Chain A
Amino acid sequence: MERKKLGLIINPIAGLGGSVGLKGTDGVSEEAIHRGAIPRAEERTQRALTELLANKNQVIVYTGPGSLGGRIAKQMGFPYVVDGALSDGHTTGKTTQDLVRWLQQQDVDLVLFAGGDGTARDIYAAAKASTVFLGIPAGVKIHSPVYAVNPSAAGALANLYLTGKVTKTSEQEVVDIDENQYRHDIINTKLYGYLTIPKEHAYTQNRKCASPPSEATAMETIAARVVDDMEPDTYYLIGAGTTTRAIMQELELAYTLIGVDIVCNKKLVAKDVYGKQIMQYIRGKKAKLVVTITGGQGFLFGRGNQQLTPEVIKKVGKDNLIILATKDKLFQLRGQPLLVDTGNAELDQKLSGFYRIICSYYETAVGKVATN
């Protein structure tokens, strides 16, 4: 049987900042080491790879040299191949990106990477949509759901995926917070993109309720609702995220995943537009704004859709907001209010109140936008 190709990327400095009170490692790794931080990414990777040991003869590891993955692969007895173009030692985000590109050239089946939100951003910057990734949590900040709940869970899921027991995948958000602000206790998340990860399914017994529809099906039904309700000669600003993307797919139009597209009479008017451009298109026209919750904290505006400037939001108006979210995504907020951070405090205040959030073709939920 042909061996499965497992890509492995360790960000050796991930998690350094946390252990010495620096709330992250972005740009401060040397200071962290100076304060006595001990690298832990390799140890966490080892915990993940332990789950794959039983099948190590069916896997070949593709990785970087030394602390990037080669050392731990060798120690644990995995057959491995190293990217000869890279060198161990001082690593940066570019090192991670170079390794991602090389792994994709090797046509790996899955890339396991150890790090935090910053590492996920670097991975995303070089990732193809067809590559499947999975994060081993090792960084200080883990807000992106591309990471497993702990290293063992990452290894177990990787094992199930490589042995064909898990075959489904899903796109999950890559989000990060501004570490400079975080160090001053301000949490400011931003959506950077999506990575495809294996989708774990639960083995059950004693069920007393039916399986819910998949996330993809839920998005399709939401998109069908929006498309069926579209009014003629109205400019629909469709912006950022996988839920809104489903509308463009339903209409069979080209789309921008992390950006805003404009649709009128079910035809594409403009793609990947921002602030002033949007204003030019909708001036004197009837417009509606279709948005979803972004950034993992329930933000409607200000995280990943900054193209929607306060001027655009004001022009469209509160009553022409169409908010979408799958139940899975909405329920992660557990009833917490939705947030807005448009950059205009007065507008933020005006946007407060109750909204209907479309969850499927026939279902909406009531959501509250907080008054800050």
Chain B
Amino acid sequence: MEMKRIDRSQKVRVGFHEAKWDEAIIYELSKPGERGILVPKADKKVVDAVGNGVSMLPKGLRRKQAVNLPELSQNHVLRHYMRLSQETLGADVNIEIGQGTCTMKYSPKINEQLARGIFDLHPEQDPSTAQGIMEIFHETDKYMQEISGMSRFTFQPGGGSQGLFTMGSIVKAYMNSKGETRDEFITTIYSHPSDAAAPALKGYKIIYLQPDPKTGVPDLEAFKAVCTERTAGFIQANPEDTGLYNSNIAKFVKYAHKMGALCCYDQANGNAVLGVARAKEAGFDMCHFNLHKTFSTPHGCGGPACGATGVRAGLEEFLPAPLIDFDGKKYFFNYKFENKKFGVHKVRAYYGVAPVVLKTYCWIRSLGPNGLYQVTKTAVLNNNYMFKKMLEIPGISAFYITDDNQRVEQCRYTMEKIYKDTGVSTTDIQRRMMDFGMHYWTSHHPFFLPEPITLEPTESPSKEDIDEYVNTLKYVFKECYDNPEYVKSAPHSSTTHQVDESVMDDPKKWATSWKVYLRKYK
């Protein structure tokens, strides 16, 4: 029989189907008495010396009842987690372009391998035994200073939002130290919602600047109208999630300073400006980077992260403690700001997620200054190629297209026309793209632009990858006209079918842990 080559000419993966195991949660798999490890009984000599092991613990620390852990054998545990891992749509299996704003770039596996070398380190161990990782923290601090122009960085914040919270905390501490009672913070509609949430947590009232309907960036005059002696801080992402860069940013900062406010640069979209623009030159007092996004450590959507936060000279004393310093002979934890009257003191235990900082260090060292610049250049080129291809799709458009406001590293599109023509919404497309093994993101709520699509290719995908993603979208948008109900009832080839989120409206129904679930529903 003649062997036929499999036809791979089809660029849209219509045959895709995600693995589906219908796997129970691990507590439901538990069987009383089943064990993964049988711990041998202690030697008599040991028992004679320390008792049964529990009796040595202070009485107040001893459990009154057995801990509620699932009981499973090793192979059941392994099978459970292997199945769950197959049911995910991770960055290593899909063309990760659709999660705009997340900077889902390729994270070199060698850096993962290197990070495994420090898994045995513990933050409580004697600094003299951890000089290597402390040096890496110290060196990475210097690199971040060079990249941003800031004077000192902390790696303590465990994520992007915590980095923003750190900046809000620094502003609050600074104003307290000056005896200021300012109560307002200014941000923009297109900045991340945490840019408002972080200062709000510190008790500030939030003022949003809306984008100019023509240019898409905030109006300086609007900013001046609300930036007053009540303004404690100004915080903005630049470029914003639309991919548009506010080239007047230095004027905003200058005016805020004139009014006595501090300025914070949310650099979650830092992939757009590496080696091109720095916080210092725009006049910012502080900034933060998501190491897990821009610096490839990788973005885990809730996994280990770091919102590295830096300040200009003169604000170092407000950074959370400890910092890692070098006295000429050894690296040490510097706690001198920990008990300062107006300091931030701490935003999290210890000094940062060490493997994340190590991977950042490796990534920067492997690229060098020119490599970082090439990252941004390539990400911008990819995005602008994709921008052109996207606008060729019937029904897809973008706002704020003028002669001089090129998109930088990402773009927010709109499928408003397709929605009006067919009734298929952008959230329907989000589900349908799962049927092709691809992510797709809309926008934060509430939508400022109608039926939004936010895409960010980063520097990682090839031209063929971008073409495949765009072709898949094109295929789906055509489906909207040919068979709208099929798109609206998606996904059809994914792990989970439609999730009715309306139940999330009522916090009383939430079960945020297994214990709460048992209390409410069993």
Asked if B505 and A208 sit within 8 Å, CB to CB, the answer is no
A177-231: which have CB < 8 Å to B?
A: 201-212, 214
Q: For the complex, what is the distance from the CA of A327 to the CA of B446, rounded to whole Å?
A: 7
User: Residue B502 at the A interface, CB < 8 A?
Assistant: yes
Give, as a whole number of angstroms, the nearest-CB distance from A166 to chain B. Answer: 8
User: Residue B449 at the A interface, CB < 8 A?
Assistant: yes
Name A334's contact: one of B200, B213, B440 (CB within 8 Å). B213
Give, as a whole number of angstroms, the nearest-CB distance from A209 to chain B. Answer: 5
User: Residue B477 at the A interface, CB < 8 A?
Assistant: no
Name A152's contact: one of B89, B221, B423, B500 (CB within 8 Å). B423
Asked if B206 and A354 sit within 8 Å, CB to CB, the answer is no
Asked if A366 and B213 sit within 8 Å, CB to CB, the answer is no
Neighbouring B residues of A167 by C-beta, 8 Å: 502
User: Contacts A152-B484, A205-B491, A206-B439; is A362 near B498 (CB within 8 Å)?
Assistant: no
Residue of A nearest to B495 (CB): A205
User: Contacts A205-B431, A208-B99; is A334 near B222 (CB within 8 Å)?
Assistant: no
Give, as a whole number of angstroms, the nearest-CB distance from B266 to chain A. Answer: 16
Q: For the complex, what is the distance from the CA of A216 to the CA of B420, rounded to whole Å?
A: 26
Asked if B499 and A203 sit within 8 Å, CB to CB, the answer is yes
Give, as a whole number of angstroms, the nearest-CB distance from A52 to chain B. Answer: 14
Asked if B445 and A212 sit within 8 Å, CB to CB, the answer is yes
Q: For the complex, what is the distance from the CA of A330 to the CA of B213, rounded to whole Å?
A: 13
Name B431's contact: one of A153, A204, A330, A335 (CB within 8 Å). A204
Q: For the complex, what is the distance from the CA of A214 to the CA of B505, rounded to whole Å?
A: 8
Q: For the complex, what is the distance from the CA of A150 to the CA of B446, rounded to whole Å?
A: 22
User: Residue B496 at the A interface, CB < 8 A?
Assistant: yes
Dominant secondary structure of chain B at its interface with chain A: mixed
Asked if B499 and A211 sit within 8 Å, CB to CB, the answer is no
Asked if B210 and A367 sit within 8 Å, CB to CB, the answer is yes
B209-243: which have CB < 8 Å to A?
A: 209-213, 219, 221-223, 225-226
Residue interface mask B41-55, A partner, CB < 8 A = 1:
000000000000000
User: Contacts A362-B206, A366-B207, A366-B222; is A208 near B446 (CB within 8 Å)?
Assistant: no
Asked if A362 and B200 sit within 8 Å, CB to CB, the answer is yes
Asked if B301 and A354 sit within 8 Å, CB to CB, the answer is no
Q: For the complex, what is the distance from the CA of A368 to the CA of B209, rounded to whole Å?
A: 10
Name A153's contact: one of B204, B221, B423, B447 (CB within 8 Å). B423
Asked if A204 and B501 sit within 8 Å, CB to CB, the answer is yes
Residue of B nearest to A209 (CB): B444
Give, as a whole number of angstroms, the nearest-CB distance from B227 to chain A. Answer: 10
Q: For the complex, what is the distance from the CA of A204 to the CA of B445, rounded to whole Å?
A: 13
B449-504: which have CB < 8 Å to A?
A: 449-450, 484, 488, 491, 494, 496, 498-502, 504
User: Residue B193 at the A interface, CB < 8 A?
Assistant: yes
Residue interface mask A123-158, B partner, CB < 8 A = 1:
000000000000000000000000011101100100
Asked if A356 and B207 sit within 8 Å, CB to CB, the answer is yes
Q: For the complex, what is the distance from the CA of A95 to the CA of B419, rounded to whole Å?
A: 33
Name B420's contact: one of A150, A152, A363 (CB within 8 Å). A150
Name A335's contact: one of B212, B421, B423 (CB within 8 Å). B212
Q: For the complex, what is the distance from the CA of A23 to the CA of B449, rounded to whole Å?
A: 28
Name B225's contact: one of A156, A207, A330, A354 (CB within 8 Å). A354
Q: For the complex, what is the distance from the CA of A113 to the CA of B447, rounded to whole Å?
A: 28
Asked if A205 and B222 sit within 8 Å, CB to CB, the answer is no
Asked if B209 and A168 sit within 8 Å, CB to CB, the answer is no
Asked if B505 and A205 sit within 8 Å, CB to CB, the answer is no
A-B pairs with the 8 shortest C-beta distances? Answer: A354-B225, A203-B498, A212-B445, A153-B423, A202-B427, A365-B208, A335-B213, A335-B210
